[in-house]
Chains A and B, each alone.
Chain A
Amino acid sequence: EAGVVQSPRYKIIEKKQPVAFWCNPISGHNTLYWYLQNLGQGPELLIRYENEEAVDDSQLPKDRFSAERLKGVDSTLKIQPAELGDSAVYLCASSRAGGDTEAFFGQGTRLTVV
Chain B
Amino acid sequence: ELKVEQNPLFLSMQEGKNYTIYCNYSTTSDRLYWYRQDPGKSLESLFVLLSNGAVKQEGRLMASLDTKARLSTLHITAAVHDLSATYFCALATGGFKTIFGAGTRLFVKA
Contacts and interface: CB of A to CB of B under 8 A. Distances in A.
Interface stretch (A14-22, A69-77, A80-88, A99-107): A99-107
B54 to A, nearest CB: 14
A53 interface: no
A100 B41 contact: no
Contacts of B88: 42-43
Nearest to B105: A40
13 contacts: A42-B4, A44-B100, A45-B97, A45-B98, A91-B42, A93-B43, A99-B97, A100-B92, A100-B96, A102-B48, A103-B33, A105-B35, A105-B42
Interface size class of B (residues with CB under 8 A): 20 to 34
Interface residues of A, number: 23
Contact of A91 (B4, B43, B98): B43
B96 A104 contact: no
A48 B43 contact: no
A99 B97 CA distance: 6
Given A107-B41, A108-B42, A56 B31 contact: no
Contact of B102 (A4, A42, A45, A107): A42
Contacts of B41: 107
Interface in A25-74: 33, 40-45, 48, 55-56
Interface string B24-58: 00000001010100000111110010000000000
